[in-house]
Amino acid sequence: MVEKKMSQLEQVLRSGRFAITSELNPPDSANAEDVNRAAMILAGFCDGINAVDASGANCHMSSMAICALLTRIGYEPVYQISCRDRNRIAIQGDILGAAAMGVQNLLCITGDDVSSGDQPGAKPVFDFDSIQLLRTARMMRDERVFLSGRKITSEIPLFLGAAANPFVPPYDWRAQRLAKKIVAGAQFIQTQYCFDIPRFKEYMRQVRDLGLDKQVYIMVGVGPLRSYGAANFMRTKVPGIVIPDEIMDRLKKTPKERQQEEGKQICVEILEQVQEIEGVSGVHIMAYRQEELVAEIVQEAGLLPRR
């Protein structure tokens, strides 16, 4: 019997080790070295590097292209694929193309609406939502067929992920939504930024009560806040991000020249706390255009040495 091929990220999670992924923020260039430089910083500290798919509905280098560059230099990508910009024909073709390049980790997201981005006149697609995308990818992997029923002639070894946001109401519905994504095919979860530890603990209690922590690997989203101003922008302008008053007050009271360091320290403290929560399998570090801070955060949180 041939063993199922597993990505590095899947192997780490299945082994019970605490996993770390991070985002490679796509450049506004056609220069492969911009990707390579960021990847070299992240690779020694992460079990997977997310290729971000036009987050915030803003245009950058495509996630597929970033995956191609990462696999070319031997790094482990997590391919973010959004439903916003492609119909089902394009999505299925992209899944095959990514697998042909050696990409195994697939994060299925609905995608931010174009109204939140820098080109609000763009026409959104949303032929799928994230749950339909998960079902399709699972069918392609397990049944080796397209949605049309036509056969796929090769194996597609995919490790399927989805996003979750425990921090916005209705809170009681969030664990139920996670259950639907697991049924659809999700094997790992990366959450939105976690700044509200009490709310996340309550979410994880609900997750454990439903037994979902035994069915999926949950990776908590964390990240450094660059400054009080940046935190205020995220809190007020970026949908889905919740930053409690006490964190805002802590940054505001910090001298401006030390706010970046304080934001990093807050991230380290949150990371240390979420490690202790039952059912958490890892963290997803989001440091927008601050890849060099990921290494410092991992080290200061006591998560070294890695591989």
Per residue of the chain (307 residues), what is the pLDDT tens digit? Answer: 345 689 999 999 999 999 999 999 899 999 999 999 999 989 889 999 999 998 888 889 999 999 999 999 999 999 999 999 999 999 999 999 999 999 999 999 998 888 888 899 999 999 999 999 999 999 999 999 999 999 999 999 999 999 999 999 999 999 999 999 999 999 999 999 999 999 999 999 999 999 999 999 999 999 999 999 999 999 998 888 999 999 999 999 999 999 999 999 999 999 999 999 999 999 999 998 788 889 899 999 988 776 5
pLDDT at 306 (0 to 100) = 62
CA 288 to chain centre: 13
What are the boundaries of each domain within the chain?
Answer: 8-300
228/246 Cα distance (integer angstroms): 12
CA 213 to chain centre: 18
* Fold topology of 8-300: TIM Barrel (3.20.20)
36/240 Cα distance (integer angstroms): 30
Q: Measuring CA to CA, which residue among 234, 223, 236 is closest to residue 288?
A: 223
Residue 154 CB neighbours (<10 A): 9
For residue 162, the 8-state DSSP code is E
157/142 Cα distance (integer angstroms): 9
Does the pTM exceed 0.85? Answer: yes
